[in-house]
Structure 1
């Protein structure tokens, strides 16, 4: 293929996130110090990693947990982020349940806080498209399905993926 062909192919940034709940069904969220809204444990996929590997690595780095990365729950596509030159595709994996008393060790360079939240509480903390990902992932976990969240554009101040 010619070099011209590759200039026409879409480029994306890829990320992987963990859907982790506690014994009461509350979701584990983290408060990044570099963006306005809370998010899931997770991050960008490094060169040479596949999405599940990145998810496990990011959970260990961010919250100090060693989790079994389960099945894929959702895939989302977000574009129009002011600080990212390409659309972002995020893979959300089921990383099971941890007891709410489990020690969490935050990655101090990137995170200010964490907590387990009901889906309603999470609505106030997450950007709209990220809360949609929460609901879709919870539904996929319950049904055994997989959800694709079509292209979304974050709110004007959106810095979340």
Structure 2
């Protein structure tokens, strides 16, 4: 049997999207989230990893593009495997990096093309603006930062809380 050409082999295997987000807090420990104009819920600053880019590079690039900030990208807090749903036919592997504490939210300049607003939220506030699987990621990220650990999560649902 003849070997399968690489382009044919790779065309047959599963495809996965990669995303990277920034875990940024204020001095009170609330987490920075943004409200994209193309989603019905809030997210961490971040986005998809571009071709030829490492996840931590994508995180830094997205923070600059979305918030107008240059922040150090710290350690990986965790990875979340999210299955396909709605209009996204592929699974997503989301990398969440610790990008420190921002003392002055006034320095943020939102990317108007994609984002409507930002806010520093505690867990209770985030629960009203995010699907439960993202709240699970938030709790895991808080614990990972506090404990110096790393999380790995699977699953997700598109259910959005009613405001």
TM-score where L is the length of structure 1:
0.91
> What pairs with 1:19-98 in structure 2 (closer than 5 Å)?
19-98=23-102
Q: How far off is 1:102 after superposition?
A: 3.8
Q: 2:157 aligns with which of 137, 147, 154?
A: 154
Q: How far off is 1:80 after superposition?
A: 2.6
Q: 1:99 aligns with which of 99, 103, 119?
A: 103
Q: CA RMSD in A?
A: 1.7
Q: How far off is 1:35 after superposition?
A: 0.6
Deviations 1:7-61 (A, max 9, x none): 4432101000000000000000000000100000000000010000000000110
Quote the Cα distance in structure 1 between the aligned partners of 2:108 and 2:76. Answer: 24
Q: How far off is 1:100 after superposition?
A: 4.0
Quote the Cα distance in structure 2 between the aligned partners of 1:119 and 1:65. Answer: 24
- Asked if 1:138 corresponds to 2:142, the answer is yes
Is the CA contact (8 Å cut-off) linking 1:17 and 1:55 kept in structure 2?
Answer: yes
Equivalent residue pairs, number: 157
Quote the Cα distance in structure 1 between the aligned partners of 2:63 and 2:131. Answer: 20
The aligned counterpart of 1:2 is: 4
Larger radius of gyration: 2
Q: How far off is 1:5 after superposition?
A: 3.7
TM-score where L is the length of structure 2:
0.90
Runs of 5+ in structure 2 lacking a partner?
none
Is the CA contact (8 Å cut-off) linking 1:13 and 1:44 kept in structure 2?
Answer: yes
